[in-house]
């Protein structure tokens, strides 16, 4: 790890901390504000991968994971209206989803890096985001996995309601997950613009160094 990688580590840490804070605040019926900041983690990973390679990108992911664990530990000690801000299930789900999704993103990006400039970041982020959403919401809220933390009542998340208020009847957590996933997919496309700009800037610095 060199000094050049430090901005990536700090950026990832900032995204993780901000998302852990903003997830406490609702945005509409299906989302939290954290849904709009967390996808930036994929942008950070992809920029690091493109400019410095998969090794440094993985180290940035590990740094983000460590920061996430610290945030979860802090959250378990803070009491909210309905108990700890972060339950054991949410902590496990968050850590597992982040690590699996980000490392998958790094692997896919590296495999596709030789194609058109947008192909690797878009494909890796779409797959990583899908994996992240599936793991987090299933582990955190599915009634089938209540054995993870029996004392944690997630019955509210398993209430049967129309999908996003308009579709077939599904557990509430499925609607929450799909809404989150749709935001991730939208931001994956929008993030191509800053990805292109940041990579061009950093690549110029790397060549000049």
Q: What is the pTM of this model?
A: 0.92
| Contact assessment for residue 1 and residue 62, using Cβ atoms and an 8 Å cutoff | no
pLDDT at res. 123 = 97
pLDDT at res. 208 = 42
- Residue 26 β-bridge partners: 32
C-alpha 9/C-alpha 106 separation (Å) is 15
What's the full length of the chain, in residues? 209
C-alpha 100/C-alpha 46 separation (Å) is 15
| Contact assessment for residue 64 and residue 102, using Cβ atoms and an 8 Å cutoff | yes
Buried b (16+ CB within 10 A) or exposed e, 166-203: eeeebbbbbbbbbbbbbbbeebbeebbeebeebbeebe
pLDDT at res. 82 = 66
**pLDDT (tens digit, 0 to 9) for every residue of the chain, 209 residues total?**
577 789 999 999 999 999 999 998 999 999 999 999 999 999 999 999 999 999 999 999 999 999 999 998 888 788 766 667 788 899 999 999 999 999 999 999 999 998 899 999 999 999 999 999 999 999 999 989 888 888 888 889 999 999 999 999 999 999 999 999 999 999 999 999 999 999 999 887 654 44
H or E stretch covering 90? helix 88-112
pLDDT at res. 206 = 53
| Fold of the domain built from segment(s) 3-208 | Arp2/3 complex 21 kDa subunit ARPC3 (1.10.1760)
Q: In this structure, what token pair is assigned to residue 111?
A: 């495999």
- Residue 169 β-bridge partners: 162
Domain boundaries, the chain: 3-208
pLDDT at res. 4 = 74
Buried b (16+ CB within 10 A) or exposed e, 40-62: bbbbbbbbbbbbbebebbbbbbe
**In sequence order, which residues have a C-beta less than 8 Å from that of residue 34 and are 6 or more positions away?**
18, 19, 20, 21, 22, 23, 24, 25
């Amino acid at each position: 790890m060199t000094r050049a990688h430090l901005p990536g580590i700090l950026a990832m840490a900032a995204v993780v901390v901000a998302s852990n804070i903003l997830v406490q605040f609702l945005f509409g019926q299906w989302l939290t504000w954290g849904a709009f900041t967390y996808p930036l983690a994929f942008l950070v990973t992809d920029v690091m991968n493109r400019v410095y390679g998969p090794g440094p990108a993985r180290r940035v992911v590990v740094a983000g994971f460590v920061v996430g664990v610290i945030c979860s530990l802090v959250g378990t000690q803070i009491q909210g209206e309905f108990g700890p801000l972060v339950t054991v299930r949410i902590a496990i789900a968050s850590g597992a989803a982040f690590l699996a999704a980000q490392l998958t993103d790094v692997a896919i990006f590296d495999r596709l890096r030789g194609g058109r400039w947008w192909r690797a970041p878009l494909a890796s982020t779409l797959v990583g985001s899908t994996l992240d959403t599936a793991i987090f919401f299933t582990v955190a809220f599915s009634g089938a996995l209540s054995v993870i933390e029996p004392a944690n009542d997630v019955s509210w998340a398993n209430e049967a309601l129309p999908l996003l208020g308009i579709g077939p009847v599904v557990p509430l957590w499925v609607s929450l997950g799909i809404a989150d996933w749709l935001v991730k997919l939208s931001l994956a496309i929008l993030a191509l613009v800053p990805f292109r700009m940041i990579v061009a800037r950093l690549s110029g610095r790397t060549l000049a160094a």
